[in-house]
Structure 1
């Protein structure tokens, strides 16, 4: 049977189960109470601020009944109930690694081996079935990209994909943009040139965190799409050059775009961005849009450039890429904070017409979390 004990000063609680012992601070428990006086019962948002809680919050009583912990706090005498399962799931009294370069939870790094099983969903099924939609969205969370097939071949069909989880993010390129050869293009994406794998719009802060590209015509020779896992590339760099990895994390690069009238976008972010605990947060890589590097000290600039070159070579390695040629009615989506996308060059014969748009990952993750909660409740 679980047991609870309070410290002599009432500032800590220890929950002892068969397998573990977990400690909680009184102030943390009070802050996370879910009673009606602390949180709105409808939306779960806090009704209090930290200034409303006594600085010297303590625990005066604790009792366990049928998996529920009842606590009374001092000095205000407030009482609240806690589900033991919730406490265990949210426990913070545990080892918390802080090594640089850890993958985020629920993600998997990948290389060209994923060509054998490219994550894919069929639009009619994904649009009509919550379980199919959750499975497709989970692919994006895990791998940072996924294909979509069986879309209606019509202009604007990419909005149907975004409607599955969120909203289009409009930019200076418009609500969507056309990707096909143009005369005097404002962006190299609108030519037949091959493009190195890159993340889009690194000159924005924040960057659009999702990009959708949908195919309407593709009879030109060449023009295959490629995707590369930026996290896998960063980890490979760390393995062969840990000092260079640290430099690309430590110093900000500069990115800029001023390719059309009235626009001059600029940002300063690391090429490899880590969370404070060392978890990989984002990769920004775009050789077309990088500005002069001025934030790296003179004595480390050569080593920084060496690491930059190594990362570029890793990204160009065919062992890192997944390649596919989109057919009309097919599309793919990438997590633009992680997955780099590229295009092989294509000839002037035939036609190649894709449409692209941006969206935000928080909407996708919110939709996925809600669908998973529904599935858990129904199980």
Structure 2
């Protein structure tokens, strides 16, 4: 809700009832008008192009309309209402530096219990599904317990919010010991915390791992918040952080015949305004680094080493041993996963698949719109 409005030909200033204020340009308001001639009432897609808006656009009137904003534009003579709540959700009049973390992100270390939901609940209760997806969106990972210990059950996890992303590994892949493995994941070796498939562009943004058997000694799963590791690196070594964010690394995979995947992306990816977007960290798949200037290479490697030390810090990891029918999902652009080595009697059999975050976030947003108390 709005408390007051002032305007000039080129902008409007509104004061909200909570005491905050924000400015909006005339061109921004006209481009984002919510009337049915500007946006389709059903799908909310824009019906005009920027060239349809007069270059000499001006505001001739702006006033309160029941707590909302009513604006008249010249030379069209067009009057449009903007809900106060909509304006509050779309404020761009910010002072100061953009925060490092995206909105709605909470970083964590090994002291946090793993967020966990029940398979039956998330499949039958929209609120439980909403809460599980919200945990993935905020924290970057979550577990599911109580599922069936059946091959391909992980595909039903992906169906909860989106679609499987098929790769050269297939719709899903087996994670168990092989005699001649095409990937070190298919051995009993321990694996350093890593993000998957950094050699793809775009990288799969979600990974699901589902347990079918786990009677071997060892083999615990570990997850590490890469955003927290990046935060710590920036706090103690801003210059090293800038090197890892400012130069592309190279990643490569050619473990099977006919496959040669390559990507050139930074280990710490930032948006143009400096906000964390993604972490790519996978020592097994890092190709020779050839895009760092000679004079910066040693400092780059020092920052790379330190990021690895932070990721390997036992205090950073949340550890758990999956039981048959349990699974977990990670945001593969943020959360690294690791595995302790296993050997001896018994067996360990997981299945994995990839999916993409846009489907998860879309399903979550739709559920939150149906259940608005989730956002309170």
TM range (shorter): over 0.9
Aligned to 2:42: 42
Aligned to 2:4: 3
- Mapped pair 1:157 → 2:153: yes
* Paired residues of 1:203 and 1:256 also in contact (CA < 8 A): yes
Q: Which deviates more, 364-373 or 74-83?
A: 74-83
Q: Which deviates more, 327-336 or 235-244?
A: 235-244
- Mapped pair 1:357 → 2:353: yes
Q: Distance in 2 between matches of 1:268 and 1:162?
A: 28
Aligned to 2:68: 68
Write out per-residue CA displacement over residues 270-294 of structure 1, whole angstroms, 9 at most, x where no aligned residue: 1011112221111000000000000
Q: Distance in 2 between matches of 1:148 and 1:21?
A: 43
Structure 1 position 195, deviation (Å): 0.6
Aligned to 1:111: 109
Q: Distance in 1 between matches of 2:135 and 2:65?
A: 41
* 1:14-25 correspondence to structure 2 within 5 Å: 14-17=13-16, 19-25=19-25
Q: Distance in 1 between matches of 2:361 and 2:148?
A: 25
Structure 1 position 377, deviation (Å): 7.5
> When the two structures are aligned, how many residues end up with a matched partner?
373
Q: Which deviates more, 79-88 or 147-156?
A: 79-88
Q: Distance in 2 between matches of 1:41 and 1:69?
A: 19
* Paired residues of 1:192 and 1:348 also in contact (CA < 8 A): no
Q: In structure 2, which of residues 248, 253, 262 is the aligned counterpart of residue 252 of structure 1? A: 248
Q: Distance in 2 between matches of 1:17 and 1:44?
A: 25
Instruction: Give the 4+ runs in structure 1 shifted more than 3 A.
Output: none
Q: In structure 2, which of residues 271, 278, 288 is the aligned counterpart of residue 292 of structure 1? A: 288
Structure 1 position 20, deviation (Å): 3.2
* Paired residues of 1:226 and 1:324 also in contact (CA < 8 A): yes
Q: Distance in 1 between matches of 2:304 and 2:68?
A: 54
Q: Which deviates more, 50-59 or 173-182?
A: 50-59
Structure 1 segments unaligned to the other structure (5+ residues)? none
Q: Distance in 2 between matches of 1:14 and 1:180?
A: 61
Q: Distance in 1 between matches of 2:173 and 2:339?
A: 16
**TM-score, normalized by length of structure 2?**
0.96
Pair 1:17–1:318, CA change in 2 (3 A): closer
Structure 1 position 17, deviation (Å): 4.2
Structure 1 position 348, deviation (Å): 4.3
Aligned to 1:204: 200
Structure 1 position 62, deviation (Å): 2.4
Pair 1:51–1:197, CA change in 2 (3 A): same
Pair 1:376–1:98, CA change in 2 (3 A): closer
Aligned to 1:136: 132
Write out per-residue CA displacement over residues 52-111 of structure 1, whole angstroms, 9 at most, x where no aligned residue: 111221111223221232222111222211112212221222325236xx1111111111
Q: Distance in 2 between matches of 1:240 and 1:88?
A: 35
Q: In structure 1, which of residues 262, 265, 276 is the aligned counterpart of residue 261 of structure 2? A: 265
Structure 1 position 235, deviation (Å): 1.2
Structure 1 position 368, deviation (Å): 0.8
Structure 2 segments unaligned to the other structure (5+ residues)? none
